[in-house]
């Protein structure tokens, strides 16, 4: 993914910029970064803060900080927060 794509997803998740130009997710929200490189894939879950510095993404959870190469990120999932809940299924009713 590109920096712009990741920033758009974080903004859509209502993450706010902090004083160090990193993104902090609202209370009760977290993100998971799905990363792959040379055939190996990993998921870094329950991340609460993200900072992008050049080609690296630094992501923090309550227990760890990880550094990820931006171009290795292929998906991001967002949990919690103020996102509206939808009923299962395809209908709009």
Residue pLDDT, tens place only, 21-59:
899 999 999 999 999 999 999 999 999 999 999 999 999
- Would you kindly state where each structural domain of the chain is located, as residue ranges? 3-80
- At 20 the pLDDT is 87
Q: Is the torsion defined by CA of 90, 74, 34, 36 positive or negative?
A: positive
Q: Taking residues 1-12, report their average pLDDT.
A: 95
pTM across the whole model: 0.82
Per-residue pLDDT reduced to its tens digit, 72-90: 999 999 998 655 555 556 6
Q: Taking residues 5-27, report their average pLDDT.
A: 94
Three-state secondary structure call for residue 19: coil
**CA pair distance 39, 55, nearest whole angstrom:** 20
CATH architecture of 3-80: Roll (2.30)
**Rounded to the nearest 5°, which phi and psi values hold at 5?**
-65, -45
């Amino acid at each position: 993914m590109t920096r712009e794509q990741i920033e758009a997803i974080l903004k859509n998740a209502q993450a706010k910029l902090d004083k160090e130009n990193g993104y902090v997710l609202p209370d009760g929200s977290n993100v998971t970064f799905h990363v792959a490189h040379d055939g190996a894939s990993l998921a870094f879950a329950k991340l609460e803060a993200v900072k992008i510095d050049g080609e690296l993404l630094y992501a923090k959870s309550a227990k760890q900080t990880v550094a990820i190469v931006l171009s290795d990120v292929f998906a991001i999932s967002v949990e919690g927060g103020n996102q509206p809940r939808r009923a299962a299924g395809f209908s709009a009713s």
